[in-house]
């Protein structure tokens, strides 16, 4: 269905005040380190821009990405945006099923050819002629191939879609990688299996919803993808490590480490590095955005970072633990324990 109303009209109808809308634009512009006045420019663009058609494909995934993005809690602009974006086609959330769902997908593709945003969560199985996961008799790989062509922007949501993630982890099933050939969208583009289109990776297991809504808002306002690093991650949210913003960082600097989750040092809030925290090598915005409506993130609740937004998650974690990992091997500059 062709989208006619703008984001702001959509938000207004759902009770979002102009003030809250402007705040969202200002916070997004600030998080992306855009120049002065960019918040107003973003608001003006979203006020005028028609809502894009968004088609959301769920492949080899656990539903965690969608669950995270549609989390319960007070309605937020991010939540409304994501609720709204799911309307055209979303395997998990749409009401249509069977042939009706396929008709929706095909008509949305035809009516919005060249302009829709394609969101993918889950990895793409490439083994056994891509037969490991099919929808309506169409393999995930074939569906991605068909739908990438007409997309103006592709967003790989979550570590599975970005880098293969858990379905590619040999530790989950010794043969899983070789059998299902779980692959991220970017690798399929880079190797010419599917067409190359503007692609943004938003890794995380699951990813932070504010990063997705901010990326889409930026694309609508500027007609381009935000600045990205070599792994196609927006630098605004993936430019710093979790370690950089961790509230336990001063303990790390002083060499104050917990050695067990229930020891006296852990109860004092000491650094979790020697318990395997991957914060120093993990790029994500968890310390600034936090989870559950900005309530907390792993180090607030006493657990180290698992590196869930990085390539190689989960295998790297298990391989390190099996070798008696204590943290120091990953960060040679770690201060001595005191």
Q: DSSP 3-state helix, strand, coil percentages of the chain (rounded to 5)?
A: 45, 10, 45
Shortest separation between residue 295's beta carbon and ligand SF4, angstroms: 18
Among 108, 286, 289, 334, which residue interacts with ligand F3S (rule: CB under 6 A)?
286
Q: How far apart are CA 241 and CA 187, in angstroms?
A: 24
Q: What is the DSSP secondary-structure string of 129-142?
A: GGTTSEETTEEHHH
CA distances from 68 to 186, 291, 293, 296, 314 (A): 22, 9, 11, 14, 19
65 binds ligand SF4 (CB under 6 A): yes
Residues 282-301 that bind ligand SF4 (CB under 6 A): 299
256: contact with ligand SF4 by CB under 6 A: no
Among 144, 166, 305, 334, binds ligand F3S (CB under 6 A): 305
For residue 138, the cross-strand partners are 135
Distances, alpha carbon 38 to alpha carbons 217, 226, 272, in Å: 12, 13, 38
Residues numbered 197 to 256 that lie near ligand F3S (CB under 6 A) are: 204, 242
Show the binding pattern over residues 121-160: x = contacts ligand SF4 (CB under 6 A), - = does not: xx-----------------------------------xxx
Closest CA to 94 of 120, 55, 123: 55
Q: Does 308 bind ligand F3S (CB under 6 A)?
A: yes
How many residues bind ligand F3S (CB under 6 A)? The answer is 11
Which entry of ligand SF4, ligand F3S, none binds 210, CB below 5 to 8 A by partner kind? none
Cα–Cα distance for residue pair 184/201, rounded to 1 Å: 9
Q: Decide if residue 52 touches ligand SF4 (CB under 6 A).
A: no
> Packing angle between helix 18-31 and helix 209-222, nearest 10 degrees?
90
> Which of 39, 125, 181, 304 is close enough to bind ligand SF4 by CB under 6 A?
304
* Crossing angle of helices 18-31 and 77-85, rounded to 10°: 90
Q: Interface with ligand F3S by CB under 6 A: which residues? A: 204, 242, 282, 284, 286, 297-298, 305-306, 308-309
By the criterion CB under 6 A, which residues form the site for ligand SF4?
61-62, 64-65, 121-122, 158-160, 165-166, 205-206, 242-243, 246, 248-249, 252, 271-273, 277, 279-280, 299, 304-305
């Amino acid at each position: 269905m062709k989208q006619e109303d703008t984001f702001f009209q959509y938000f207004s109808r759902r009770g979002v005040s102009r003030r809250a809308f402007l705040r969202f634009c200002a916070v997004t512009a600030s998080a992306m380190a855009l120049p002065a006045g960019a918040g107003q420019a973003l608001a003006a663009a979203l006020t005028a821009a028609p809502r894009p058609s968004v088609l959301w494909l769920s492949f080899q995934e656990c539903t965690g990405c969608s669950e995270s993005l549609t989390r319960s809690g007070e309605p937020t602009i991010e939540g409304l945006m994501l609720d709204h974006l799911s309307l055209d086609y979303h395997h998990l959330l749409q009401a249509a099923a069977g042939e009706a769902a396929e008709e929706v997908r095909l008509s949305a593709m035809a009516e919005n050819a060249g302009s829709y945003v394609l969101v993918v969560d889950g990895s793409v199985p490439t083994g056994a002629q891509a037969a490991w996961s099919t929808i309506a008799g169409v393999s995930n790989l074939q569906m991605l191939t068909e739908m990438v062509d007409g997309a103006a922007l592709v967003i790989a949501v979550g570590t599975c879609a970005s880098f293969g993630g858990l379905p590619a982890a040999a530790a989950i099933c010794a043969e899983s990688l070789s059998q299902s050939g779980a692959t991220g969208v970017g690798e399929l583009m880079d190797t010419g299996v599917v067409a190359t289109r503007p692609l943004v990776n938003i890794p995380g297991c699951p990813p932070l919803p504010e990063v997705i809504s901010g990326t889409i808002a930026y694309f609508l306002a500027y007609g381009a993808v935000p600045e990205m690093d070599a792994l196609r991650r927006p630098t605004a949210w993936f430019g710093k490590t979790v370690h950089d913003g961790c509230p336990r960082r001063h303990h790390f600097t002083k060499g104050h480490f917990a050695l067990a989750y229930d020891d006296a040092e852990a109860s004092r809030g000491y650094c979790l590095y020697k318990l395997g925290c991957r914060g120093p090598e993990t790029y994500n915005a968890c310390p600034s955005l936090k989870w559950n409506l900005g309530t907390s993130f792993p180090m607030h609740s006493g657990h180290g970072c698992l590196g869930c937004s990085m390539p190689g998650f989960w295998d790297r974690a298990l391989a390190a633990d099996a070798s008696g990992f204590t943290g120091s091997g990953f960060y040679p500059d770690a201060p001595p324990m005191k």
